[in-house]
Amino acid sequence: MKPKIFIDGEHGTTGLQIRMRLANRDDLDVISIPEQERRNQALREDRLNESDIAILCLPDDAARQAVAMLAGNNAVRVIDTSTAHRIDKAWVYGFAEMTQDQAPRIRSARLVANPGCYPTGAIALVRPLREAGLLADDYPVSINAVSGYSGGGKQLIAQMEERDHPHAITAPHFLYGLTLQHKHVPEIRAHGLMNHAPLFSPSVGRFAQGMLVQVPLHLDALHDGATPAKIHACLADHYAASMHVHVVSLEDSSAMTRLDPTALNGTDRMHLHVFGAPDGRHVNLVALLDNLGKGASGAAVQNMDLMLSA
């Protein structure tokens, strides 16, 4: 019998992407709710409880409500793409490449919290350095990032694309999270193994998909005589066996004069770069990914496949 997959919130941006990725899968039974019935709570609860894996593509409160609808039904496994459970110790964090034992933990988990798109890039860059002892846990980490506007969901997409929208945005690029209290900060801090919250400055560009996440570092403030080569080796070793995360060579990165945030659109890959300053005192670590690929829907499908392989 094919495993039953229910995408709760399949008509939102992330849900639609997951549905598209599963459309040609003949090894799955994807159960659904018609869009006109999406507010039918009884039908929704039935679909949740008859599934083998429920993928929640919902706002935080609705995700918590969905989990409550499964109370006592431990047969249903859950992947939550919201921020509701990402630092909850009862949930396994769904970034398979984060540590060597993360994929096996996801494979055997009942409850998996899908990472955010920004945290995927930031944690991918910081966590290996923390585990290797190159980056002190109290280092004052700064993260600068730009995302395509699809990361803001249907509301932001409409504001960016519809000129007659009452709250249309005409700027080619804008900064937000100006209070430095973005909802992803606790997640980045927890899974990046930081003692202090990072200074996270996100922004949105006038392109639908794609993302760059930057972590600039002062080398003289790192441990063990860190150099660009040592940092690159640390990252390359950490992701050596990964299918989805590729550490670009120092030579290829140094030959670049610009980095396009849309370069990996439509893929589930993430590229990591180490850019060294000529003075040898600074590096800029950069993650390139599709915010709806490895940053959201692609990661959810990756986690689903791991869970089904248990």
- Residues with active-site annotation: 117
DSSP H/E element including 265: none
Helices 298-308, 13-22: crossing angle, 10 deg rounding: 50
Q: Whole-angstrom Cα distance, residue 195 to residue 128?
A: 16
Q: Whole-angstrom Cα distance, residue 19 to residue 29?
A: 12
Tell me the H-state helices in the chain.
Answer: 13-22, 41-50, 60-69, 102-108, 117-132, 153-161, 185-191, 228-238, 250-254, 298-308
- Return the amino acid letter for 15: G
Could you give the strand order of the β-sheet that contains 211-218, starting from the edge strand earlier in sequence? 173-175, 199-205, 142-148, 211-218, 282-289, 270-276, 245-247
Q: Which residues contact 261 (CB under 8 A, 6 or more apart)?
A: 146, 147, 148, 205, 207, 210, 211, 212, 288
Q: Which residues contact 258 (CB under 8 A, 6 or more apart)?
A: none
- Return the amino acid letter for 120: T
Burial of 164 (0-12, 13-18, 19+ CB in 10 A): exposed
144: which strand partners?
A: 201, 214
Q: Which residues contact 34 (CB under 8 A, 6 or more apart)?
A: none
